[in-house]
Structure 1
Amino acid sequence: MHTLTPIAASSLSLPTDSYIYSITPAAPGTFAAISSDDSLRVFDAANLDRESVIAPKTHDGGVTALRTYSSGDAQLLATAGRDGRVRLWDARAGNGSAAVEMETVKHAPVLSVACHAETSTVVAGTELVSSQAVVAFWDIRSPAACRLQYVESHNDDITELQYHPTRSNILLSGSTDGLVNIYDTTITDEDDALVQVINHGSVHHAGFLSERTIYALSHDELFSVHPATDPDEPTQEPEPVHFGDVRQPLGCEYIAQLCIGSQGPYIAAGNKADHRLDLIPLVSDPAWRFDQDSLWRLPGAHGEEVVRSVYLDEQSQSVFTCGEDGFVRVWKPADDDVQAPVESAKGARPKEKRQKDRFKPY
């Protein structure tokens, strides 16, 4: 076991009793945060006290999601809300006005967002409204109307969206209906676009571990790893690995998320009673398992409050966390620890070996 040391903390000048829901990279050296007062704030990674309010009120009814939208020199931030809108914000403008705004049909509340700047695309996943949960696509150059919608693949709230790491046409969605769906978004017919369906349980988080591997985490902490099938390759795929409820084997009360650093994927496991958060490596050699002997512990974590978001920052070699205590906290490894989850390129293992150890599908 290794230990990360807290080096800084800030409430970002938020009102008392605020929650911080999510953090994500903004411009180089900065991060953005959304919180329970529905604001969007940007802070300096090197000095948390240097923060600015990009929008004091991002959405009526509550902000639900935050993502980075990057294209060339433009560094925009995407937020979604229960008002049925997705908005893009230019942090450099600082005028409290969205640069681009998109709206769902019937003002369906948006719970999840994904962005693909190379194709000028923003995708939203909605709550179930009028018996429909929608995956809606916009081209931000023509934001007035959706360019594509999938309306039949989920029958409950869509909680997760993520693009494939290398293929711009492949999108993953997850829902409280228990399904993780994979689409080829170049296909407009919804039945034909759906290339893979995984039945997991009410999806809290899901995503790509690698180009050929998918993970799923349910709201009751069931975890599984699945091969991404390729319809053009009729070879026999490996069987999925079902870990079941990971709380007892990992000694935790909840799973905050899965995050990927230079050393591979880590699951962020929280324990409020013991005031700690553990970053536990997920390794694939010889078979998928959690390497608990190599975990990184964040002692104290966010006290008795839940950690909501974790980011492994390679640039500053730090771990950023935020939570329901209303604070952003920064953690660093001891100087003599060279296998940190945020290990620099100088100390990292050779790329070929790291990919074999951490990203081999099975």
Structure 2
Amino acid sequence: MMEIDSTPLPPRNKGKGKLVPVELDGLPWVEKYRPNDLSELVSHEEITDTLKTFIEKNRLPHLLFYGPPGTGKTSTILACAKKIYGNKFGSSILELNASDDRGIDVVREQIVNFASTKTIYRTDFKLIILDECDNMTNAAQAALRRVIEKYTKNVRFCIICNYVSKIIPAIQSRCTRFRFSPLALEQVEHRLNVIVEKEHVQLTENGKKALLRLCKGDMRRALNILQACHAGYEQVDEEAVYNCTGHPQPQHIDSILQTMLRDEYTTAYQRIERMCIDHGYALQDIVTDVFEKLQEADLPSETEMNMVTQLADIEYRLGEGANEKIQLGSMIGAFKLALPVV
């Protein structure tokens, strides 16, 4: 009978002679390049400096992180956890995604059971991370308020959300709040340059500009787009970025804007509808880009105000599930009505 060689395979070789472990090679870049230390975070120096001081003095309060997606909220608290507990922190941290576990039963069972036991590490407290906490029900938040109060000696809570207005005031008052603003484009670009070099991505200058424009300060979105484009295209240029994301290309937005400003209503409607069908554009993306172009156009203030007001209503209706064809007609009509009669 043939013997099977059980010797583990060596890590795969990728790049210029650098060995990359198998377990990291297939990871999404968002996880592969997630910061492991507070010093590796690319922005929000004031927040990280404050957290370092809390940790050094062993006075970490309950934390509330809020702000847009992809701005480093989860990465920051995980880096804090590694600084407090080291790499072996599994039994000292409970991480729950409140989008999945958001009922009152989770608060009464999982959180209370974890909070009521003591840690074996040198620190005096354990850490509970509640991600996307703005999706928790009000009843669960009310129950959580009492748990935070009761187990303060044993546990610290880090509550993470996108919209702080959806967190009840009783929880907000028990936490130290930190707002994570969208990252500056220079900070996103610096991080992208590091990853482009490590992954040997052929990223052109116009491709980088398109990537930075579309990510809008969201590092997660920037990395996901870059990885998708690298997988689908040998060279990541502007066209590849827009094709990969399905976002309207700038020259098409210019064409749409000129058509609405100059052409007769029926002609404009037919041209824009044909462009949306041919390229698979979503009207919501067109509305957003047209608004940005309006800021650059030389239009009378009153005309621009009327157009922006109508665009805001159209965007809201699209978000509520309105018919795109009707809203396209509404957008063109809004432009025709807002333009001064010559």
More strand by share: 1
Same fold? TM cut 0.5: no
TM-score, structure 2 as length reference: 0.24
More helix by share: 2
Higher Cα Rg: structure 1 or 2?
Answer: 2
